[in-house]
Amino acid sequence: MRHRKAGKRLGRVSSHRKAMLRNMITSLLEHERIVTTVVKAKEARKLADQMITLAKRGDLHARRQALAVIRSKKVVAKLFDKLKDEYTDRNGGYTRILQTGNRLGDAAPMAILELVNYKEEAEEELAE
């Protein structure tokens, strides 16, 4: 019985799952948009929202907690300096999942996981 066990196992052992989610969160915060499967996106969204909430707190302990997950000082600096200011007035819901269809190889449902304030560079250039 799986009573009171939160989160999907994603067909991996715990160390592999933890490393994969850390890598996904680091890539998401660095590029602000990643392409993955729907199930992985839903699991990564939980951790991404926690990291942005830590950044909104902004103290040293929160920064160290984020470094324990993200493991890239450059990405943590971006999170605590730039991204924190974009989400100060928003209470949760910092990410968006856009379902894109099925992958050709194994028909896995794919999705785009992006931050809510993400803007493509092409759209910014057209607006200017």
Q: What does the pLDDT look like over 30-84, one tens digit per residue? A: 999 999 999 999 999 999 999 999 999 999 999 999 999 998 999 999 999 999 9
Domain locations in the chain as residue ranges: 14-127
CA 123 – CA 94 distance, rounded (Å): 20
Task: Quickly count: other Cβ atoms within 10 Å of residue 35's Cβ.
Answer: 13
Which pLDDT score, from 0 to 100, does residue 105 have? Answer: 94
Which pLDDT score, from 0 to 100, does residue 125 have? Answer: 63
What's this model's pTM, rounded to 2 decimal places?
0.89
pLDDT at 112 over 80: yes
When pLDDT is averaged across residues 84-92 and rounded to a whole number, the result is 93
Q: Which CATH number fits domain 14-127: 3.20.80.10, 3.10.310.70, 3.90.1030.10, 2.70.98.60?
A: 3.90.1030.10
Of 38, 100, 48, nearest to 75 by C-alpha is 48
